[in-house]
């Protein structure tokens, strides 16, 4: 699964579209901290994928969820769902009558 290393989709101050610069082109806000958060989330998603490949599903889930808390993305959400499904394979199953 490919993951984008996109920083915030928009400036949190003025909502100008993010253009990959460390400073907002419209309002001049410093976006370095947000870029670092996005980069850290990217690394954590990579770790989640590695844990999945190694069969450590709980570690994968922990990393994927931590990444989403730092910088939520649609692909990161999908990764979290996959990790949750393999870490808790019986959750969400209907209860069988005793
Ligand atoms: Zn701005």
What is the per-residue pLDDT for 1? 43
What is the per-residue pLDDT for 57? 95
Q: In the chain, count H helices and then E strands.
A: 3, 0
What is the per-residue pLDDT for 20? 82
**Residue holding tokens 């870490």?**
87
What is the per-residue pLDDT for 97? 58
Count the neighbouring beta carbons within 10 Å of the beta carbon of residue 18.
Answer: 19
CB-based neighbours (< 5 A) of ligand 1, an ion: 11, 13-14, 16, 24, 26-27, 29
Strand residues in 1-98 grouped as ranges (E): none
What is the per-residue pLDDT for 89? 82
Per-residue pLDDT of the chain (98 residues; tens, 9 = 90+): 445 555 567 898 999 988 888 999 999 999 999 899 999 999 999 999 999 999 999 999 999 999 999 999 999 999 999 999 999 887 655 556 55
Q: How far is the CA of 36 from the centre of ligand 1 (A)?
A: 17
Q: How far is the CA of 65 from the centre of ligand 1 (A)?
A: 28
Q: How far is the CA of 6 from the centre of ligand 1 (A)?
A: 16
Which residue in 12, 30, 66 sits closest to 21, CA to CA?
30
Convert 51-88 to b/e letters by CB count within 10 Å (16 or more is b): bbeeeebebbbbbbbbbbebbebeebeebbebbbeebe
What is the per-residue pLDDT for 54? 97
Q: How far is the CA of 21 from the centre of ligand 1 (A)?
A: 11
């Amino acid at each position: 699964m490919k993951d984008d290393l996109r920083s915030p989709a928009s400036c949190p101050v003025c909502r100008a579209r993010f253009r990959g610069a460390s400073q907002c082109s419209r309002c001049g806000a410093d976006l370095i901290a947000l870029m670092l958060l996005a980069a850290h989330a990217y690394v954590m998603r990579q770790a989640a994928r590695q844990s999945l490949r190694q069969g450590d599903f709980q570690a994968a889930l922990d990393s994927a969820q931590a990444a989403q808390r730092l910088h939520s993305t649609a692909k990161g959400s999908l990764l979290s769902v996959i990790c949750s499904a393999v870490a808790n394979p019986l959750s969400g199953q209907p209860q069988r009558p005793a």
